[in-house]
Amino acid sequence: MINGGTTLHGEVEISGAKNAAVAIIPAALMVDGVCVIENMPQISDTEMLLTILKELGAKIRYLNRSTVEIDCTDVWMQDAPYDLMRKIRASYYLIGAMLGRFGHAKTTMPGGCNFGVRPIDQHIKGMNALGADIDIKSGFIYADSRDGKLHGARIYLDKVSVGATMNIILAATLAQGRTIIENAAREPHIVDLANFLNSMGADIRGAGTDTVKVNGVDRLHGGSYALIPDQIEAGTYMVAAAATGGEVLIKNVIPRHLECISAKLRETGTIVQEYGDAVLVKGASALRKINVKTLPYPGFPTDMQPPMCALLCVANGTSVVTEGVYDNRFKYVNELRKMGAEIQVDGRVAVVEGGKRLSGAPVMACDLRAGAAMVIAGMCAAGTTVVEDVRFIERGYENFVGKLNSLGADIRIVDEPEERRGREKIVSIV
């Protein structure tokens, strides 16, 4: 529940990157030793993946709130908790990791946010090229390397895909020979995965460019690694500060990862000052309209499209938002309309008539980033907004309500659904 009309002021600390963590936890499965991962975000997606690894025989221990020790020395291939796998998109990384470690894999078709068709044909293309047969039946994905090992290959991705790039890197790490991935995605979390694997003994070059080279190694040893800060969590607080006209210092960020978000916010008249590991965002008294198109990194991130749309509802003028990555990522616009937003959607283009005072209303969080957008709209609106299904938000934002409260937002969780009440942490905090 959010009582709108508050401006955000103060400082907020950004947690570790969700989309790095959800690939690096499966990557730990390939390590024949103990990994200590720092800056691990406390979110339900990472909790679910840690549970899956635990069911595969990994020993998991939190050394403190954001440092987890994962020991996969004695893991073995067995049935994993498929009910959990179905809930998250990142479960497909277990294909690459299991193939790398065991030579075969069984996972479910991936779940995750529902905004249009999200095929995995590029993942399958990569695994086939490395010598694995993929079979999909009754909701499961079966992967088998033909002779027990994967072999390096040259793979051209027909579409720039974060998931396919990361999954192929995972599978290629312990393959025999050299793999070259062309037309690879360049997101910061891909670089983070490569850096993690290299610190455990892998040989991966070029991550962050459109050509990634992997020289297969025989095994990965243990070690420790710290995740990068979450680019999208940081961007969400930047947009929230700008939309509410506040002034917020966002700490523990890598400004270079936020360059496109900072640039688009400056176009609205927002002041964005960069420091070594922080950005200061000062909202303008009146926000200007902008046009924005989402693209793979280093373009404007698609995951920032819903939060930015919420901001443009309260900016002056007509903005055009083009979704360049997914074919249907505007479902949440209906929820914004319940608050008085005037947005026309035609396929991948939304035209936002800004300058309206939004009014609080009961709305749904359609998915993770849409949920964050509804909270931002609620903070800007007059009156009270109730956002249903905040479990989506908890998938990717650590302590979202607590962090917003510390910035002065009038927001609280009003209904703890039955299945969440008293949920025991999957791993004991030492």
State yes or no: residue 326 binds ligand EPZ (CB under 6 A): yes
Q: In this chain, which stretch among 52-60, 111-119, 133-141, 315-323 interacts with ligand EPZ, using CB under 6 A?
A: 111-119
- Closest by CA to 39, choosing from 12, 61, 21, is 21
Catalytic entry in 72, 113, 309, 380: 113
Count, in order, helices (H) and strands (E) of the chain: 14, 23
What Cα–Cα distance (Å) separates residue 29 from each residue in 99, 200, 219, 336?
10, 12, 12, 41
Cα–Cα distance for residue pair 145/262, rounded to 1 Å: 45
What minimum distance in Å lies between the beta carbon of 236 and ligand EPZ? 10
**Which of these, 330, 408, 341, 339, lies nearest to 369 by C-alpha position?**
330
214 binds ligand EPZ (CB under 6 A): no
Q: Does 15 bind ligand EPZ (CB under 6 A)?
A: no
**Does residue number 101 form part of the binding site for ligand EPZ (CB under 6 A)?**
no
Cβ distance 389 to 364 under 8 Å? Answer: yes
CB of 163 to ligand EPZ, least distance (A): 3
Angle between helices 44-55 and 18-28 (to 10 degrees): 10
Per CB under 6 A, 396 contacts ligand EPZ: yes
Q: Which is nearer to ligand EPZ, 105 or 325 (CB)?
A: 325
What letter does residue 16 receive in the DSSP assignment?
Answer: B
- By C-beta, is 71 or 233 nearer to ligand EPZ? 233
Q: Which stretch binds ligand EPZ (CB under 6 A): 95-103, 114-122, 248-256, 271-279?
A: 114-122
Which of 40, 68, 228, 368 forms a contact with ligand EPZ (CB under 6 A)? Answer: 368
Nearer to ligand EPZ, 172 or 381 (CB): 172
Torsion of CA 16, 303, 22, 413, to 10 degrees: 70
19 binds ligand EPZ, rule: CB under 6 A = yes
**Cβ at position 294, least distance to ligand EPZ in Å:** 9
Q: Counting contacts by CB under 6 A, is residue 89 touching ligand EPZ? A: yes
Residue whose CB is less far from ligand EPZ, 315 or 325 = 325
The minimum distance between CB 329 and ligand EPZ, in angstroms, equals 8
User: According to the binding rule CB under 6 A, does residue 90 interact with ligand EPZ?
Assistant: yes
Are 336 and 377 in contact by the 8 Å Cβ rule? The answer is yes
Using alpha carbons only, how large is the chain's radius of gyration in Å?
Answer: 21
Q: Is 113 a residue of the active site?
A: yes
Q: Which one of 106, 186, 264, 369 is in contact with ligand EPZ (CB under 6 A)?
A: 369
3-state class of 96 per DSSP?
helix
Enumerate the H helices of 200-320 as residue ranges: 231-243, 259-267, 305-313
Closest CA to 16 of 258, 230, 235: 230
Asked if 120 is part of the footprint of ligand EPZ (rule: CB under 6 A), the reply reads yes
Distance CA 53, CA 60 (A): 8
Question: Rule CB under 6 A: is residue 69 a binding residue for ligand EPZ?
Answer: no
107 binds ligand EPZ (CB under 6 A): no
Q: What is the distance between the terminal CA atoms of the chain, rounded to a whole angstrom?
A: 33
Q: Which is nearer to ligand EPZ, 100 or 396 (CB)?
A: 396
Q: Which of 123, 213, 257, 264 is in the footprint of ligand EPZ by CB under 6 A?
A: 123
Number of residues counted as binding ligand EPZ (CB under 6 A) = 25
Give the H or E element holding residue 168: helix 162-173
Q: By C-beta, is 249 or 373 nearer to ligand EPZ?
A: 373
DSSP bridge partners of 120 = none
Residues 274, 35 contacting (CB under 8 angstroms): no
Contacts of ligand EPZ in 152-191 (CB under 6 A)? 159, 161-164, 185
Q: Which helix (H) or strand (E) holds 402?
A: helix 400-406
Using CB under 6 A as the binding rule, whether residue 256 contacts ligand EPZ is answered as: no
Decide: is 294 part of the binding site for ligand EPZ (CB under 6 A): no
d(CA 360, CA 372): 15
CA-to-CA distance for 35 and 327, rounded, in angstroms?
38
Contact set with ligand EPZ (CB under 6 A) = 18-19, 22, 89-90, 113, 118-123, 159, 161-164, 185, 302-303, 325-326, 368-369, 396
Query: What residues are annotated to the active site?
Result: 113
